[in-house]
Amino acid sequence: MVSMLVVGLVVAVLLVGGAAWASTRWSLYHQLDNELVAMSGQFSAPIQGDLENMGGLSAEALAPTQTSLVLVRADGQVTGLPGAETVLTPGPDELTVARTQHASPAHTQLLQGQRLRVLATPLVIDGQSYALVVAQPLAPTDETLSRLTVVLVLVGAAGVVGLGLLGWALGRSAVKPLRQLANAVARITETDDLRPVQIAQSDDLGNLTESFNTMLNSLASSRERQKRLIADAGHELRTPLTSMRTNVELLIADDKTGMLPPGARAEILHDVAGSLGEFTSLVGDLVQLSRDDRVAISREPIDFAEVVRSAIVRARRRGPGLVFDVELNPLYLLGESDNLERAVTNLLDNAVKFSPPGGTIRVHLEGDRLRISDQGPGIAEEDLPHVFDRFFRSDRARNTPGTGLGLSIVAHTVEAHGGTVRAGHSAEGGAEFTVILPGSQRPLDEP
């Protein structure tokens, strides 16, 4: 784009220079033609009064003005000035003026290698038709135009060089952000370093650099999340794997030595089955969390109250001795019913896990808010900011089963549906979770 601008400016300089030269040439020729017209008018009266002596004019008198003058009769006879060394030779144009008595514009004529500007004006003397031909050399005018040409060429060349340097400087300045981006891409490819590129301007290239930095920040954040997930997953997977390995080694040793007492083998197998169940649950939770937050959800119109009701049915089977206080009002929204049901199930499982025997779990859906509260020990104040972190286990939950990923899955699913979830304290002292989802109390197909 910069090169096109420079080429346009160069063309403009050339056009301006050419126009200036043409305008100056026209002005000089026009001025010379006016002088010839004035001379013709000045010489006509004396010549008409004294044709024999050419009105008293002589070549010596006109020498300072370098003016040539002849009188052409209609029959072609030419009368020059007394004392003239060179007589102007009239051409067809001058004869035509003499015969037709119609003036013609000035024109250029070459005489003995000298360029002349010639003007013929009609003149009648004693009833005979003549043409008064006046001429002046074009050497001074051509010299002026030559000097002007040299000046314009020099100035134009300097302008072109200046524009070239300006275009080079502008090109380097414009390409600098692109060069920085290219260097940043090369640096990232070689070193895997996701540091942002410095932004030095605020134009379109600066916006491109800012977008590139946003992409780098997103990649860095995604990589950090992946590293943290892998580290946490490795830590959490180590426990069930170690337990299963120890139990399997005991079973292998028992096959060789029979060292286990009666009934111990069944207990070990039961422990292995429990570890496998914990391992399976942990892997499932990790797969759920490994999905990118920006993956498009296959949404459909659903009634969130029905989703909550299905999750309550599952929770009742896991807490047969608990009381469920349920109040559900319709909330219609676009979403994935399976993922939302799993999120609500995780919240209910958490309430079932910490509720005392015979305790009450309240599930209220009113407007766009779902509240799930229990009568358990609640959440410590210092743990509230971390309950939705991956693998977070409070001191009160250390000895309870679970992967520490349930509430993280809840937050992940609710945020993917454009909602929010927060933890707090219920009126009975237990935990209370509030889910807010964008929806409507009317079915989505109604106006």
Q: According to the model, what pLDDT value does residue 331 have?
A: 92
Residue 111 near residue 134 (C-beta atoms within 8 A): no
Question: Stretch 61-81: mean pLDDT, rounded?
Answer: 84
Distance CA 51, CA 48 (A): 6
25: exposed, middle or buried (C-beta count within 10 Å: 0-12, 13-18, 19+)?
A: middle
**DSSP state for residue 82 in the 8-state scheme:** T
The least confident of 36-50, 359-373, 418-432 is 36-50
Question: Stretch 66-90: mean pLDDT, rounded?
Answer: 81
**pLDDT confidence bin for 360, thresholds 50/70/90:** very high
Would you list the DSSP string of 271-292? HHHHHHHHHHHHHHHHHHHHS-
- Select the more confidently predicted residue: 92 or 187: 92
Structural domains of the chain, with CATH:
2-144 (3.30.450.20), 224-290 (1.10.287.130), 300-436 (3.30.565.10)
Q: What number of helices (H) and strands (E) belong to the chain?
A: 9, 12
Residue 49 near residue 55 (C-beta atoms within 8 A): yes
State whether residue 303 is helix, strand or coil: strand
Residue 76 near residue 95 (C-beta atoms within 8 A): yes
Q: Which two tokens stand for residue 265?
A: 């083998």
**pLDDT confidence bin for 207, thresholds 50/70/90:** confident
32-34-35 Cα angle (round to 5): 65
CA distances from 207 to 179, 184, 201, 278 (A): 15, 16, 8, 49
Question: Stretch 33-40: mean pLDDT, rounded?
Answer: 87
- For residue 369, the surrounding DSSP H or E stretch is strand 369-373
- Select the more confidently predicted residue: 209 or 370: 370
Query: Does the pLDDT value for residue 435 go beyond 90?
Result: yes
Distance CA 144, CA 263 (A): 124
CA distances from 283 to 177, 207, 240, 277, 366 (A): 45, 42, 11, 10, 34
Question: Stretch 307-328: mean pLDDT, rounded?
Answer: 89
Share the mean pLDDT of the chain.
Answer: 80
Query: Does the pLDDT value for residue 290 go beyond 70?
Result: no
Distance CA 362, CA 351 (A): 9
Q: According to the model, what pLDDT value does residue 28 have?
A: 87
**pLDDT confidence bin for 326, thresholds 50/70/90:** very high
**Three-state secondary structure readout of 94-156:** HHHHHHHCCCCCCEEEEECCEEEEEEEEEEEECCEEEEEEEEEECHHHHHHHHHHHHHHHHHH
Residue 268 near residue 250 (C-beta atoms within 8 A): yes
Distance CA 291, CA 222 (A): 12
Question: Stretch 204-218: mean pLDDT, rounded?
Answer: 75
Q: Which amino acid is at 320?
A: P
Distance CA 284, CA 272 (A): 18
- Select the more confidently predicted residue: 425 or 81: 425
State whether residue 326 is helix, strand or coil: strand
pLDDT tens per residue, range 94-124: 888 888 888 888 888 887 778 888 899 998 8
Question: Stretch 227-251: mean pLDDT, rounded?
Answer: 73
**pLDDT confidence bin for 309, thresholds 50/70/90:** very high
- Select the more confidently predicted residue: 426 or 236: 426
Q: According to the model, what pLDDT value does residue 373 have?
A: 93
Q: According to the model, what pLDDT value does residue 392 have?
A: 64
Query: Does the pLDDT value for residue 361 go beyond 90?
Result: yes
Q: Which two tokens stand for residue 167?
A: 């275009």
Q: According to the model, what pLDDT value does residue 114 have?
A: 82
Query: Does the pLDDT value for residue 181 go beyond 60?
Result: yes
Query: Does the pLDDT value for residue 295 go beyond 50?
Result: no
Q: According to the model, what pLDDT value does residue 303 have?
A: 92
Q: According to the model, what pLDDT value does residue 250 have?
A: 81
- CA proximity to 74, closest of 132, 130, 133: 130
**pLDDT confidence bin for 329, thresholds 50/70/90:** very high
**DSSP state for residue 63 in the 8-state scheme:** G
Q: Which amino acid is at 58?
A: S
Residue 203 near residue 176 (C-beta atoms within 8 A): no
Query: Does the pLDDT value for residue 293 go beyond 50?
Result: no
Q: Could you tell me the pTM of the whole model?
A: 0.45
**DSSP state for residue 325 in the 8-state scheme:** E
Residue 250 near residue 275 (C-beta atoms within 8 A): no
The least confident of 74-88, 309-323, 362-376 is 74-88
- Select the more confidently predicted residue: 280 or 326: 326
Percent above pLDDT 90 for the chain: 12
Distance CA 335, CA 342 (A): 13
Cβ neighbours of residue 421 closer than 8 Å, sequence gap 6 or more: 388, 410, 411, 414, 415, 433, 434, 435, 436
- CA proximity to 439, closest of 412, 419, 416: 419
Distance CA 367, CA 17 (A): 78
Q: According to the model, what pLDDT value does residue 201 have?
A: 62
Query: Does the pLDDT value for residue 374 go beyond 60?
Result: yes
Residue 420 near residue 345 (C-beta atoms within 8 A): no
pLDDT tens per residue, range 1-28: 556 666 777 777 788 878 888 888 888 8
Q: According to the model, what pLDDT value does residue 436 have?
A: 94
State whether residue 244 is helix, strand or coil: helix
Would you list the DSSP string of 371-405? EEE-SSS---GGGGGGTTSTT---GGGTTS-S-S-
Distance CA 73, CA 118 (A): 17
Percent above pLDDT 70 for the chain: 82
Q: According to the model, what pLDDT value does residue 400 have?
A: 53
Inter-axis angle of helices 406-416 and 264-290, to 10 degrees?
20
Question: Stretch 312-326: mean pLDDT, rounded?
Answer: 88
